[in-house]
Chain A
Amino acid sequence: MPAFLIFSVFYIYPFFYTLFLSFFKGDAISYLEFVGFNNFKEILLYDKAWWRSMYNAGFITFWALTFQNILAFLLALGVDKAVRTQKFYRVVFFLLPILSEIIIGLLMRIFLLSDPGVLNHLLERLHLDFLKRDWLAPQSALLSCALVHCWKGFGWAFVIILAGLQSIPEELYEAARVDGANAFQSFLKITLPLMIPVFTLVVILTILGTMQAFAMILALTRGTGGLTEVPVMRIYNHLRTGQTCYACSEGVVLGLILVIVAFGMLKFSKFARQKYGL
């Protein structure tokens, strides 16, 4: 009962209130006008900036799904075998995700800006001058956001994947060795299939987390004239300018998209597990 009450007050009520407001126009302080599905129509059919922000978030998510998670998987594979230093690595890699997004954004801004140009200076010292550029310029700002996001976020995936790797019974590998399987075959036939549920979880969490990323990007680029604007940044800006109901509608649309993606991933995972007979 207390759990239900807490859940109702902090989750169910805000959810339904947001949904309720999304059918209105106004600031929800003194002005509300029922507009039906107009806000949704506006977002889905006419708001090009919304879809641009979805593209930006999708781009960052793509990098997080590939670069970030592959890096996390490779590191987890390495650390899984390093029995003595495992705890140390776990702490080190998990430090970044627990740091404030705003702090990371501001620090990385100083690091990436052409003035003072910390990164460019480093590249120069390493004789990698061809890589020097304005990292927050329109052409590279979105990629910079994606890379910083991956750098900050790979610790989460690392910890989850490492836990998954450690839950695979050692006996399976021993049996495979007895049967003459080499390391690559063991990896392909044991590790990968048994990690499918873990990968599904990591993929879902990555998509949900990245599509909702906002604070770090705000501190890093302020949206770069729409080039690095992400959906939650738009919602935040609309809330600030008194377009509360429109912001609620954007929140509902984003939520629905994420729910659909998450369910799609779960279905895919179920299908993959059935295929491997897990």
Chain B
Amino acid sequence: MIKRVIIIVFLFLFGCSAPKKEISSKKIIIWHWMTDRQGAFEELANKYKDLTGIEVEFKLFFPPDIYSQKVIAAARAGTLPDIFGVLGEKKMFASFIKAGYILNLAPFIKDWQERFIQQTLQVNTFKKGNIYGVEPGIYGIPIDSMNIQFLYNKRLFKKAGLNPNRPPKDFKEFIKYAKILKEKLRVNGFVCGWGEVWLIYCLVTEFAINIMGKDKFFDTLRGKVPYTDPEWIKVFSLFKEMRDAQILAPNIVTMINKEAEESFALGKAGFSFNGSWCINVYKKLNPDLEYGVFPLPAVSDKKGVKIWGGAGSSFVVNANSKNKTEAIKFLKWLTEPEQQKFLMEKTLNLPAVKIPLEEVSPILKEFLDDTGNLTHPNVWPLQEDSRVVEVINRGVQQIIMGLKTPEQVALEVQKAKERVLLTKRSQ
């Protein structure tokens, strides 16, 4: 009996021990979630093997939620690969760094950091005195960049008698054009995947920065300006305006971005709000789609327009990997202009490094035109508490559904903010 128990315990312990670490002296393992880039990555890996003799294996895990859970579980189990990416808010990124899973790359990239578009590196940078308590440094290498902008269907514009080369110049004109498209062509004025609430928060913050300016916006996050401030109510009212103008696609608050992309690509909506990754998606859905890009339709011309953007996807190096040096060398090679151009042409994502604009396709160029106006929560000096963000997003969805007024939502958000501040103070 005792013998049997010992055998079973032995089998159990060794059978369930951590999987064999995917580390060998001449093989770099990379985990990622980017389905559209797997083919291109594999081609690059083959090229790298021919050049250096080092094997690189890109392992794809999809969907991104599953990928995130896998990375968290692997971190706890100590089985992270040599290179991986951290999805989610900067808070999560910081947690991985503080737990010792991610290598500070600042000392290793001094001679090649100039090649990057500045904003793409910022997302991976922690400055001195950052709110996350992370040691200053650069912890990730961007492999592409992105920004989120408004899109319009040029063919529908032409059909409705609008100038296809002149997108709306402000919010009023955006509403006006969307109404014209809806009335004349019976298409939806505007479509967006607002079932994925981060897209709502993105637009809320962009409007807020445009209406009240960055300083007042950050003061709200600090708790110095209430969400019941008239300018915040104005921000929430913009969603009511869109609802009242009846330009929004039906069920927009339950729509995932993929559905919205399909709707826009198939010409069922005149306008959309989407990230630069959509170029590849639209090309697959409808290669003949003619569309243009324009930044946030401004509400105010006093404070300027900022749009979300920066690094699209970034890779980090496992601080506990035996192949750190090889991993860094590979990332250096991957971000050389030649490889970046290859990735850009294959996957239609914006490059992370500076590439001469004449080598970039016209639609990518349209997205790249606004890289000077980028902002992103990951580069802000502070971020809103996720409990407050949740109330903002739900509130906006309820405004769109006609269940609440902007004033009611502002009050609810402020209450949530006060509750968070109170909890923080009491702790």
**Chain B window 390-423, contacts with chain A (Cβ cutoff 8 Å), 1 for yes, 0 for no:** 1100100110111100000000000000010001
B95 is an interface residue with CB less than 8 A from chain A: yes
B253 is an interface residue with CB less than 8 A from chain A: yes
Q: Name B196's contact: one of A30, A115, A222 (CB within 8 Å).
A: A222
Interface residues on B, range: 35 or more
Taking A5-B9, A242-B95 as contacts, is the C-beta distance between A114 and B251 under 8 angstroms?
yes
Known: A5-B9, A226-B397. 13 other contacts (CB 8 A): A6-B12, A29-B72, A31-B95, A114-B250, A134-B250, A136-B251, A137-B251, A222-B195, A224-B254, A225-B398, A226-B398, A227-B401, A243-B387
Q: How far is the CA of A243 from the CA of B423 in the complex (A)?
A: 15
Contacts of A25 in B (CB 8 A): 427
Closest 6 CB pairs of A and B: A225-B397, A222-B195, A30-B99, A30-B98, A29-B95, A30-B95
Say whether A38 contacts B256, CB under 8 Å.
Answer: no
B8 is an interface residue with CB less than 8 A from chain A: yes
Q: Name A241's contact: one of B88, B94, B256, B419 (CB within 8 Å).
A: B88
**Chain A window 114-145, contacts with chain B (Cβ cutoff 8 Å), 1 for yes, 0 for no:** 11000000000000000000101110010000
Say whether A242 contacts B251, CB under 8 Å.
Answer: no
* CB pairs A–B below 8 angstroms (14 shown): A1-B5, A1-B9, A5-B8, A27-B92, A29-B72, A30-B94, A30-B96, A46-B419, A113-B251, A115-B268, A137-B401, A225-B253, A241-B88, A241-B386
A interface residues (Cβ-Cβ under 8 A, vs B): 1-2, 5-6, 9, 25, 27, 29-31, 33, 35, 38, 42, 46, 49, 109, 113-115, 134, 136-138, 141, 220-227, 237, 240-243
Q: How far is the CA of A27 from the CA of B398 in the complex (A)?
A: 29
Within the complex, the shortest CB–CB distance from B55 to chain A, in Å, comes to 30
B interface residues (Cβ-Cβ under 8 A, vs A): 5, 8-9, 12, 16, 65, 68, 72, 75-76, 88-89, 91-92, 94-99, 195-196, 250-251, 253-256, 268, 386-387, 390-391, 394, 397-398, 400-403, 419, 423, 427
Say whether A226 contacts B394, CB under 8 Å.
Answer: yes
Taking A27-B91, A29-B72 as contacts, is the C-beta distance between A49 and B250 under 8 angstroms?
no
Say whether B95 contacts A240, CB under 8 Å.
Answer: no
Taking A114-B251, A137-B251 as contacts, is the C-beta distance between A29 and B75 under 8 angstroms?
yes
Say whether B12 contacts A5, CB under 8 Å.
Answer: yes
Within the complex, the shortest CB–CB distance from A235 to chain B, in Å, comes to 13
Q: How far is the CA of A220 from the CA of B16 in the complex (A)?
A: 37
Say whether A31 contacts B98, CB under 8 Å.
Answer: yes
Say whether A138 contacts B427, CB under 8 Å.
Answer: no
Within the complex, the shortest CB–CB distance from B386 to chain A, in Å, comes to 5
Contacts of B96 in A (CB 8 A): 29-30
Q: How far is the CA of A115 from the CA of B65 in the complex (A)?
A: 28
Contacts of B5 in A (CB 8 A): 1
Taking A30-B98, A30-B99 as contacts, is the C-beta distance between A2 and B253 under 8 angstroms?
no
Within the complex, the shortest CB–CB distance from A30 to chain B, in Å, comes to 4
Within the complex, the shortest CB–CB distance from B191 to chain A, in Å, comes to 11
Contacts of A2 in B (CB 8 A): 8, 12
Within the complex, the shortest CB–CB distance from A216 to chain B, in Å, comes to 13
Taking A46-B419, A225-B394 as contacts, is the C-beta distance between A240 and B250 under 8 angstroms?
no
Residue of A nearest to B403 (CB): A138
